[in-house]
Amino acid sequence: MAKPKVAFYWCASCGGCEEAVVDLAEKVLNVVAAVDIVFWPVALDFKKSDVEAMPDKSIAVSFINGAIRLSEQEEMAQLLRRKSQVVIAFGACAQLGGIPGLANLWDRRSIFDWYYRQAPSVAPDGSAPATKVKVPEGELELPAFWDTVKSLDQVIDVDYFVPGCPPTPKVLLAAVEALLGGKLPPKGAVLAGDKSLCHECRLNDSKPEKILIADLKRITELQLDPEKCYLAQGVICLGPVTRGGCEALCIEGHMPCTGCFGPLDQTPDYGGTAVSFLASIVDVNDEAEAKRVLDKVADPTGIVYRYSLARSKLGRKRLEAGA
């Protein structure tokens, strides 16, 4: 019997999601034995033209990681959508826009101005990437750099989402087994449980029923007690509002949860929920006190929308006219 054809592709990605496949270790051999990998640019020499030549819907599953930042990424996502029966947004960047989505606090012009003209480490010569560049040999074309970073489902229809930055080997394996075994949940599901991280965190027993803290602390400000709930120690840990399934790996590494598994099914907006949760645990009596505590949060957007600004209700900072 012919093996199902599988494709992997990366868009605006750090490469960590590709590493996640390799992190399957010897189990990757079982996956490779069960499927026919027909496209995986990071590991194997396939070209776009190879995909274009495939019949529509001939790929059983495409795993696409990374956010959509360039015209080329949007084009490849559309091509893989056409060629695939199932498309999976793999990892926080594809699911929610991820860390690249924080660039939605700026626009193309301000990003290029900084990186090619103003940053202290550059010797500006007035040049910045352009979509068409003339060279002696002819004209070169580069992909367009969009003002706005998008999640995968903001540009194509997505069947399933695998959360994580990157997804853990366990989550990836469970997704592959569900796909190969034909045991898939309804379309649109996130392929991980729907309970918050606290439910699987070993420190949950030390978390008071009602947390009230008079001060928020940065992780550098104290010696964390690794046996006591980090939130109860005053460090922002987003476990209560974040989907579990990661086996609390960061907590085990003595780091609080930063929210990479994203929102639970019924959460309308991850950042909004995180703000509302944090506001409910800060125990202050007046506005000045509240301001003192909140001023200690160095990068509020980067904390509550670290992985999900692009897919949030806000989406981005308002574009200036003419930007």
Q: Kindly list the residues in this chain that would bind ligand SF4 in the complex (CB under 6 A).
A: 13-14, 16-17, 65-66, 91-93, 98-99, 165-166, 197-198, 201, 203-204, 207, 229-231, 237, 239-240, 251, 256-257
Minimum CB–partner distance for residue 181 and ligand SF4 (Å):
25
Minimum CB–partner distance for residue 226 and ligand SF4 (Å):
10
Tell me whether residue 179 or residue 248 sits nearer to ligand SF4 (CB atom): 248
From 249, 251, 260, select the one nearest 231 (Cα to Cα): 251
Minimum CB–partner distance for residue 1 and ligand SF4 (Å):
33
Tell me whether residue 54 or residue 98 sits nearer to ligand SF4 (CB atom): 98
Tell me whether residue 71 or residue 204 sits nearer to ligand SF4 (CB atom): 204
Tell me whether residue 28 or residue 34 sits nearer to ligand SF4 (CB atom): 28
Tell me whether residue 5 or residue 306 sits nearer to ligand SF4 (CB atom): 306
36: number of Cβ within 10 Å:
12
Minimum CB–partner distance for residue 298 and ligand SF4 (Å):
19
Task: Provide the 3-class DSSP secondary structure of residue 214.
Answer: coil
Residue 163: alpha-carbon gap to chain centroid = 7
Minimum CB–partner distance for residue 95 and ligand SF4 (Å):
8
